[in-house]
Chains A and B, each alone.
Chain A
Amino acid sequence: MKTEDILSLFKWLARIMYVGAIIGVLVQAGIFVTNFYLPDTPSPHNKINIPLYDLRIDHPELYFQLLCLTILLAIVKFLLWKNMADILGKISLSTPFTKPIASKLVNVGHVLVTISFLNFTSEYVLQQIAGIEGMAPLLASSFFKFDSDASYLLYAGVVYVMSQLFKRGVELQQENELTI
C-alpha cells in the first residue's frame, strides 16, 4: 500500500471519527437534557437505567461536576478529531512541513493533555459517587467510563515531540526553498 493511500485512508477515518465525535457531544448532552424530564435515564450502550435523577436531587454538586466534566470531555474529544481531520486534510507529501500543520500538532498536544486532566478529574468524581448508596448502575454504565491511566499523557508527550520536530522541519524546508 502506498503512503498516499494510507494517508487517504486515515483522512477518511479521521473524518468519520470527527462526525462520530459531533454525535458523541450531542448524545452526552442529550442524556443530561432528558434527565431533566425523565427520572429513569436509559443508558445508550447497555440496558440499565442510570440513576442520574436521584443523583441530581440528592447530590446536585456531584451531578453538576459529572455533567460539566462529561460534556467538556466530549467537546475536547471533538476538538481532537477536528484537529486530526484538519491535519490529514492539509498535509501534502511534496511539502509536508508547513506552519499551519505544526501549529495544529501543538494544538493536538494541548488537547491530549486536557483530555488526560479531565479523565483524572472525572475518575475522582466517580470515586466520590461510588461512596453513595444506590449508584452502582451509574458506575456500571459504559456511559461513564473514563481512561484515567496515563496513556493520554504519553500520547501528548509523543505529539509534543513530533510538533517540535515539525517546527524544525518547517525551518529546514524554508531554508531549502530559499537556497538558490
Chain B
Amino acid sequence: MGIVVNVDVMMARRKMSLTELAEKVDITMANLSILKTGKAKAIRFSTLEAICAALDCQPGDILEYVPDVAEPVPA
C-alpha cells in the first residue's frame, strides 16, 4: 500500500466539504481530488501546511504508512 492519504477521513471529522477545503487551502478541486484518491506522486510542504491549518490537524493525521502485505507462502 505504501503511503495512504486520509484527507477524506479528516474532512469527515471536521465536517468540511471538498469545495470548502479547496478554497481554504487555495488549490484546485482537480488537484485536491488527485490527492484524495491517492493518485498524487508527491505533496509540497506548503500544501501540507495549508491542509493541516485548514483541518486543524497534524501531518500524521493526513498521511499514514501502511506496509505492503506479503502473500503467504503455500506449505
| A and B held together in a complex | yes
- B-binding residues in A (CB < 8 A): 174-175, 178-180
A179 CA to B42 CA in the complex, in Å?
5
Contact with A along B9-27 (1 / 0, CB 8 A): 0000000000000000001
User: How many Å from the CB of A149 to the closest CB on chain B?
Assistant: 45
- A-binding residues in B (CB < 8 A): 27, 31-32, 34-35, 39-44, 47
| In the complex, chain A residues whose CB is within 8 Å of the CB of B47 | 180
| In the complex, chain A residues whose CB is within 8 Å of the CB of B39 | 178
User: How many Å from the CB of A179 to the closest CB on chain B?
Assistant: 4
Pair count A-B, CB < 8 A: 23
**Residue in B closest to A174 when the chains form the complex, CB atoms:** B41
**Residue in A closest to B25 when the chains form the complex, CB atoms:** A180
**Residue in B closest to A178 when the chains form the complex, CB atoms:** B41
Q: A178-B34, A180-B32, A180-B44 are in contact. List 11 more A-B contacts (CB 8 A).
A: A175-B42, A178-B40, A179-B40, A179-B41, A179-B43, A179-B44, A180-B27, A180-B31, A180-B34, A180-B40, A180-B47
| In the complex, chain B residues whose CB is within 8 Å of the CB of A175 | 41-42
User: How many Å from the CB of B33 to the closest CB on chain A?
Assistant: 10
| In the complex, chain B residues whose CB is within 8 Å of the CB of A174 | 41
| In the complex, chain B residues whose CB is within 8 Å of the CB of A180 | 27, 31-32, 34-35, 40, 42-44, 47
- Can you list 8 contacts pairing A with B, beta carbon distance less than 8 Å? A175-B41, A178-B34, A179-B40, A179-B43, A179-B44, A180-B31, A180-B40, A180-B44
| In the complex, chain B residues whose CB is within 8 Å of the CB of A178 | 34, 39-42
Most chain A C-beta atoms within 10 Å of own C-beta, residue among B35, B41, B43, B47: B41
A175 CA to B43 CA in the complex, in Å?
11
A178 CA to B34 CA in the complex, in Å?
8
Most chain B C-beta atoms within 10 Å of own C-beta, residue among A174, A178, A179, A180: A180
A58 CA to B57 CA in the complex, in Å?
90
| In the complex, chain A residues whose CB is within 8 Å of the CB of B40 | 178-180
| In the complex, chain B residues whose CB is within 8 Å of the CB of A179 | 40-44
A180 CA to B41 CA in the complex, in Å?
8
